[in-house]
Amino acid sequence: MFVLEPLFALLTCLLVYWGIGVYRRHTSEFEPDPDFERWCASEPLLMAFRCRGDAHDLRMLLRQTIAPDEEILNLRGGAPWQYYHYEVVVRSPSESVVTVHLCAAKVQRGEGKACVDAAEVVARLVSDPDLAIEEVWLHGQLHPSDAPSRHRDRVHWIGQDPETLAPMIGQPVWSSSEAA
């Protein structure tokens, strides 16, 4: 019996280690919010960029930034925004405008995938002088403002770069296909 005790101890340690890994991968500390997930599935506008001229390069760089799964995170805003991964779709309502819409929200489980934060996406794009971005619009939940989370769904942000964004109610006219 003494010969098998180290083997049993090793197997027990491995089972505990494996069990913790499985538990962390398939659980979340946050309960899913079905109303929020339905709202995300309605494809609301998350961010919009207006360029001087053709926005082809912006579309390509944006798709590369969120590749391979076209998912982003949002580390700002109020609950439940920080607890989800967001599937997004990139659209072009006109030649000079690129928009990003939410398609679906999935609760983050465990350590999750390596997704890029929405604020990082905007910072990367705006810092590239070749893209000639004139204006950026962000959903209120994406900006690290001091606004209470209950106001962030109504008050959005517009400006030329993330440091100089100003509050705005609603969406800019140029972000929709009707304006084109």
CA distance 160 to 6: 64
The pTM score is: 0.76
Write down the pLDDT at residue 179.
47
114 in a domain, yes or no? yes
Q: Kindly state the helix (H) or strand (E) to which residue 168 belongs, with its residue range.
A: strand 166-169
12 in a domain, yes or no? no
CA distance 180 to 164: 26
Q: C-alpha 161: how far from its chain's center?
A: 18
Confidence at 82, pLDDT banded by 50, 70, 90: confident
CA distance 38 to 30: 17
pLDDT of 22 above 80: no
| Collapsed DSSP state (helix, strand, coil) of residue 62 | helix
Comparing 133 with 150, the larger pLDDT belongs to 133
CA distance 82 to 115: 13
E strand spans, 32-153? 45-51, 71-73, 84-94, 97-107, 116-117, 133-138
Report the range out of 43-52, 121-130, 148-157 with the highest average pLDDT. Answer: 43-52
113 in a domain, yes or no? yes
Q: Which domain holds residue 83?
A: 30-179
60 in a domain, yes or no? yes
Write down the pLDDT at residue 69.
81
CA distance 15 to 19: 6
Q: Are 122 and 99 in contact (CB under 8 A)?
A: no
pLDDT of 180 above 50: no
17 in a domain, yes or no? no
> Average per-residue pLDDT in the chain?
81
74 in a domain, yes or no? yes
Q: In total, how many domains does the chain have?
A: 1
Q: Which residue in 31, 18, 115 sits closest to 80, CA to CA? A: 31
- Provide, rounded to the nearest whole percent, the portion of the chain with pLDDT above 70: 81
Write down the pLDDT at residue 91.
92
Write down the pLDDT at residue 88.
93
112 in a domain, yes or no? yes
82 in a domain, yes or no? yes
Query: Which range is least confidently modeled, 2-11, 37-46, 50-59, 92-101?
Result: 2-11
